[in-house]
């Protein structure tokens, strides 16, 4: 998954964020570079 050969599902993304103690929303916002 991490090298792009397998698609990351929304469920997988949620579980990965949970395992890392991160909010999925915060991860997406950071990835998009959105500022308030």
- pTM here? 0.72
Query: Would you state the pLDDT for residue 5?
Result: 93
Distance in angstroms (rounded) separating the CA atoms of residues 4 and 25 = 21
Query: Would you state the pLDDT for residue 35?
Result: 79
Query: Would you state the pLDDT for residue 13?
Result: 94
The HSE-up count of residue 11 (CA atoms within 13 Å, CB side) is 0
Query: Would you state the pLDDT for residue 32?
Result: 94
For 1-36, the pLDDT digits (tens) are 778 899 989 999 999 999 999 999 999 999 999 876
Return the biggest CA–CA distance within the chain: 34
């Amino acid at each position: 998954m991490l090298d792009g050969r397998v698609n990351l599902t929304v469920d997988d993304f949620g579980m990965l964020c949970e395992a890392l103690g991160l909010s999925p929303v915060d991860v997406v916002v950071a990835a998009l570079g959105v500022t308030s």
